[in-house]
Chains A and B, each alone.
Chain A
Amino acid sequence: MATAAPMRISPLGRVEGDLDLKLEVTDGVVTDAWTEASMFRGFEIILKGKDPQAGLIVTPRICGICGGSHLYKACYALDTAWQTHVPRNATLVRNIAQACETLQSIPRWFYALFAIDLTNKNYANLPEYDEVVRRFAPFVGTGYEKGVTLSGKPVEVYAIFGGQWPHSSFMVPGGVMCGPNLADVTRSIAILDYWKREWLEKEWLGCSIDRYLELKTWDDLWKWADENDSQRNSDLALTLRFSRAAGLDKYGQGCGNFIATGTYFEPSLYEHPTIDGRNAALINRSGIYDGAEFHDFDHLNVRESTAHSFFKGDTYLHPWDGKTEPIDPADGHKQGKYSWAKSPRYEVPGKGPLPLEAGPLARQVIAGREGAADHQDYDPLILDAIKSEGASVLVRVMARMHEACKYYKLVEKWLGELDLHEPFYAKPAELESGKGFGSTEAARGALSDWIVIEDGKIENYQVVTPTAWNIGPQDGNQVHGPMEQAFIGSPIADPADPVEMGHVARSYDSCLVCTVHAYDGKTGRELSRFRIGEGA
């Protein structure tokens, strides 16, 4: 085994966007990591000086994968800034649409972005490899084809209310643009039922969603996976067994601190959206978990560091005061900067600034916090996994997939609660100035906008994405971001095909194409010119 060979995976792919990953590898283990977002598009600069509602059109185009989530939080940023009234129906439609985007993303992400790595030839000697290839091989795998094609169904429901997916702008301050009729609702129910039956129950679970939702612990899940032939043969059980055999439960832990800003509102508690009233109105709760304790989420504790980002200076600002002043990366490198992502940090009371992991794992950890109100989600399963065996690539993947049944049930409930004879919109006063904060949980994590409106136009607009939370570079204290921490300690069996790095990157579902460069930890030489494994 060679000691540290410089390695280069460029591009890595299937993480959406552009990300270079520089790794220091020593004795087949990653000993240091730098995530380098390699593209700048300048949306916050474009928004300055524009119509206050410009964010409803512009921010969904930040990410086509979670564009509906961008719309959702951009709308709430305006609702809070303009102090709107949001009718009950509008809250329900926004919830339905946001959840349908996530329901779409769950199978699409799993089959198209994550599972195809399980067919990697490195795993050819593992039990059930042939079955994994038969199901998960790109384009031709039986599970792949069904999962990817049927992933278009939940967003058909989005289109019924919003006209199209991706990139509608049908949520506006004061409600939604649509005025749905009876057939819109009944068709939505039928489409989702079809998706549940044909993919979620038949392919993924091998049982009813109600049976699955009885699971309360990580151990319950493993027992369920071996309970009968139907469940044993499901894509979920196969993924559990094969991932464990491949060691995906052993690495990719991450920083161990989590943030959820929460999403979906109980309509009666958020008819007049305010920043202060947000936490209590959430159905999927917000919160911070610092590895030992839970804390309530307060957006005023969010900061973004530009210490290692290609922006002017070494700033550490709350997003309302945030600046987006790009510099040439060639100059930035000379200042020790290495990424287009800023580094979001959270000032945890008593602990100072921490990097926090965002995403389904974070959401489900927060869902395990005691003290949920009647309208709020309480679910201990994933927190139990964290406490019993710690975070890993596998647990992160399972947290994502676990949400499918839960969100399906929520959408079914919300569709039933729509009152077609009541309003979907209340025209707001377009205030000349104000400050707003809107946030949601995109499929891949906490997504937030901060808007400052002055003289009837946007004075400042800052977006903090889940990708920034996860793949952001080191902060001013030289503390690595969550995904950098997840790479460190991970094994690389074959540097010519570092599939482990693919698993880690894709388990976060960061919206960047990940490009990996690995360097020898002892010599600093670039790994790609060597082949680990060919040496001693």
Chain B
Amino acid sequence: MATLLWLQGGACSGNTMSFLNAEEPSACDLVTDFGIDVLWHPSLGMDMGENVQRMLREITAGERELDIFVFEGTVIMGPGGSGRFNMFADRPMKDWVAELAAQANAVVALGDCACWGGIPANAPNPTDSIGLQFLKRDHGGFLGAGFKSKWGLPVVNIPGCPCHPDWVTQILVAIASGRAGDIALDDLQRPQTFFKTFTQTGCTRNQFFEYKQSTMDFGQGTRTGCLFYEFGCRGPMTHSSCNRILWNRQSSKTRAGMPCIGCTEPEFPFYDLAPGTVFKTQKIGGSIPKDVPEGTDHVTYMAHAAAARVASPQWSKEDIFVV
């Protein structure tokens, strides 16, 4: 039995909605089969009002054990550091978060907003939003770089906008079943089991990437090619398992013809959505991609690309995802 409290700060509830798409285990299975005792969730909680406040106060006073504190959404600091842009149960939400995190055995940040600020922290960050332990790539965030939960863990970041339901359920099961120590985190505190690979890993367009063949149009144009060259796809630079563990058990954005927008990385949304950057590959000198696959550089990338184009077979220039 593990107790779980789930709160939302500057959030859209997207991670909750994503979570509810889970199967094996489903949200209900977590409760009935895996013994997770949901103390409260803003969308799913049975209690309201005074009952919830009493439970929150019991936790913050250390009178009630909290195993897993899940936070979705940004920590809103504005205006002027007061937190009054986001009141919850009569107090700035940030004050609840500070007290609850201090009592929790494990703290999980769900989604980009809770991990590093996400869309609300996009310039000009009108709410002064930050993540639990990061703001963009800067370590620290709301709880501070040195924060450790009672079990000695830093905040476990499960990013994505939203995060995939399996990323959440598997980590919750791991924590609830006493395997928190097996969760190896990367330098952004993401579970490596989901975030060591790239979004590109398993993408059905990989053969076109290999031969540098571009998709030339959306819609019917996505029956062939790779979205990296013209449409700003960030699959080779983004860490996720979107093409290993499919979305809604069916597909992924890149499979369906939508470029990866890098939503598991702290810089999302990239280039601050400046004019000319949305769904368009940023280029140097009109032809060289500004962002090249992780670990390469422009010179080696271009040399490789030139050779790959020479080697490209005829089929790689034709439609492959045909009717």
Contact = CB atoms under 8 A, between A and B. Distances in A.
Interface of A: 8-14, 16-18, 20, 38-43, 45-46, 50-54, 56-58, 61-65, 67, 87, 89-90, 108, 112-113, 116, 138-140, 144-145, 148-149, 151-152, 155-156, 158-170, 172, 174-179, 181-182, 187, 326-330, 420-421, 423-427, 456-457, 496, 498, 502, 511, 513, 515-516, 528
B122 interface: yes
B39 to A, nearest CB: 12
A482 to B, nearest CB: 21
Contact of A164 (B28, B79, B247, B269): B247
B48 A9 contact: yes
Given A13-B42, A41-B10, A156-B250, A139 B28 contact: yes
A182 B323 contact: yes
Contacts of B248: 152, 155-156, 158-159, 164-165
Given A46-B120, A179-B219, A326-B85, A163 B48 contact: no
Interface string B15-33: 1111011110011100110
Given A50-B275, A58-B119, A144 B28 contact: yes
Among B20, B40, B80, B221, chain A packs the most CB atoms within 10 A around the CB of B20
Interface string B48-84: 1110110000000000000000000000100110101
Given A50-B275, A62-B12, A163 B20 contact: no
A67 B249 CA distance: 19
Given A155-B21, A160-B250, A179-B223, A16 B323 contact: no
A421 B43 contact: no
B273 A58 contact: yes
Interface string B284-310: 000000000000000000000000000
A139 B38 contact: yes
Contact of B14 (A52, A67, A329): A67
A67 B261 CA distance: 16
Contacts of B44: 14, 112, 138-139
B21 A167 contact: no
Interface of B: 8, 10-18, 20-23, 26-28, 31-32, 38, 40-50, 52-53, 76, 79-80, 82, 84-90, 118-120, 122-124, 126-127, 129, 161-162, 217-223, 242, 246-258, 261, 263, 269, 272-279, 321-323
4 pairs of A and B residues whose beta carbons are closest in the complex: A64-B14, A425-B219, A42-B126, A9-B49
A160 B256 contact: yes
A56 B50 contact: no
Contacts of A65: 12-14, 17
B91 to A, nearest CB: 10
Contacts of B247: 159, 163-165
B12 A8 contact: no
B52 A11 contact: yes
A46 B52 contact: no
B283 to A, nearest CB: 16
Nearest to A151: B20
Contact of B43 (A113, A140, A330): A113
A164 B165 CA distance: 11
Given A181-B321, A424-B219, A425-B221, A10 B89 contact: yes
Given A11-B88, A159-B251, A176 B10 contact: no
B250 A159 contact: yes
Contacts of B124: 45-46
A46 B87 contact: no
B49 A427 contact: no
A413 B302 CA distance: 48
Contact of A18 (B38, B80, B87, B127): B87
B48 A13 contact: yes
B256 A178 contact: yes
Contacts of B45: 13-14
Contacts of B11: 64
Contacts of A138: 44, 46
Nearest to B46: A138
A427 B89 CA distance: 49
Contacts of B47: 13
A3 B17 CA distance: 41
A428 to B, nearest CB: 11
Given A46-B120, A172-B279, A425 B12 contact: no
A139 B269 contact: no
Contacts of B48: 9, 11-14, 502, 516
A403 to B, nearest CB: 19
B255 A163 contact: yes
Contact of A425 (B38, B46, B218, B256): B218
Contacts of B82: 328, 330
Among B26, B258, B276, chain A packs the most CB atoms within 10 A around the CB of B258
Nearest to B224: A179
B32 A17 contact: no
Contacts of B122: 46, 58
B219 A139 contact: no
A51 B28 CA distance: 41
B138 to A, nearest CB: 19
Given A172-B218, A179-B321, A424-B220, 5 more contacts: A40-B85, A54-B269, A58-B122, A148-B27, A168-B256
Given A14-B45, A502-B48, A169 B21 contact: no
B12 to A, nearest CB: 4
Contact of A64 (B16, B22, B38): B16
Among B122, B124, B129, B274, chain A packs the most CB atoms within 10 A around the CB of B122
A513 B73 CA distance: 14
B273 A511 contact: no
Contact of A53 (B253, B258, B279, B321): B279
A16 B45 CA distance: 11
A64 B12 contact: yes
Contact of B88 (A18, A43, A145, A423): A18
A502 to B, nearest CB: 6
28 contacts: A8-B50, A10-B50, A13-B48, A18-B88, A40-B126, A40-B127, A41-B126, A41-B127, A42-B120, A46-B124, A53-B279, A61-B161, A65-B14, A108-B20, A139-B27, A145-B32, A148-B20, A149-B26, A164-B253, A166-B18, A168-B258, A172-B279, A177-B257, A179-B222, A181-B223, A425-B219, A426-B219, A513-B42
B127 A178 contact: no
A39 B86 contact: yes
B127 to A, nearest CB: 5
B28 A145 contact: yes
Contacts of B22: 152
A528 B11 CA distance: 28
A327 B85 CA distance: 9
Given A166-B18, A167-B162, A425-B221, A56 B251 contact: no
B219 A57 contact: no
A136 B119 CA distance: 36
A420 B323 contact: yes
A328 B84 contact: yes
Nearest to B323: A420
Nearest to B22: A152
A100 B219 CA distance: 20
Given A159-B256, A328-B79, A425-B221, A167 B161 contact: yes
B256 A170 contact: yes
B148 to A, nearest CB: 29
Contacts of B23: 149, 152
